[in-house]
Amino acid sequence: MLDKPRIGVFVCECGINIAGTVDCDELTEWASTIPDVALAIKNRYTCAEPGQEEIKHYIREKNLNRVVVASCTPRMHESTFRNCCADTGLNPYLFEMANIREHCSWVHSHDREGATEKAKDIIKIAVARARFLEAQEELEVPVTRAALVVGAGIAGIQTSLDLADAGYQVYLVEREPSIGGLMTHINKSFPTMD
């Protein structure tokens, strides 16, 4: 386990995508009061280069050992922020993302107060998860370019041929003493009627 969590929370306005509905100033101020949060900062576009540089700066300056970014969906920028953490020497798996754009501002566009309160809950949950994150190391596992095909019917035979053509070593197994499967019971086959 790492030292006591020193979590940095970075709230993204996403232009007006988030700030048009969620009160980002209130959210940032509130996030700074969460236990283990060493810093809460608001940024206009956190995914842009200046936003990433700000994260890197504060990781170093405030000795942050966990990062939470409250912005859009992880599908969009999780790898961006993980790489940003890694650039500072912080393990990229000590990063957590809180989706306040799709889950708050876009679905509660006519309820600023409700969207802001929901965003607080989402950030609080992300901070709670971040407390328990552990550094991870990616492993490279060698892959054997071989395939096992079970069943030597017409589909199994064709699959074996296709895999072999793609450069794989193929092991074709059949429980019966001969290959062909159901095709061995048919005396003529479409379209040639052979």
Q: Are residues 88 and 64 in the same domain?
A: yes
For residue 108, give the CATH number of its domain. Answer: 3.40.50
Q: Are 77 and 95 in contact (CB under 8 A)?
A: no
Interval 37-77: pLDDT, tens: 999 999 999 999 999 999 999 999 999 999 999 999 999 89
Look at residue 138 in the predicted model and tell me its pLDDT: 87
Task: Considering only residues 112 and 194, tell me which one the structure prediction assigns the higher pLDDT.
Answer: 112
Q: Are residues 32 and 109 in the same domain?
A: yes
In a domain? residue 172: yes
Q: Are residues 13 and 101 in the same domain?
A: yes
What percentage of the chain exceeds 90 in pLDDT?
85
Start-end of H helices in 32-131 = 49-61, 74-87, 112-131
Look at residue 3 in the predicted model and tell me its pLDDT: 79
Interval 166-181: pLDDT, tens: 999 999 999 988 888 8
In a domain? residue 2: no
In a domain? residue 154: yes
In a domain? residue 122: yes
In a domain? residue 177: yes
**What is the mean predicted confidence (pLDDT) over 141-170?**
94
In a domain? residue 48: yes
pLDDT over 80 at 134, yes or no:
yes
Tokens of 152: 């030597």
Q: Are residues 25 and 108 in the same domain?
A: yes
Structural domain that includes position 71: 7-131
Q: Are residues 80 and 172 in the same domain?
A: no
Look at residue 135 in the predicted model and tell me its pLDDT: 92
Q: To the nearest whole number, what is the mean pLDDT of the chain?
A: 92
**Tally of structural domains, the chain:** 2
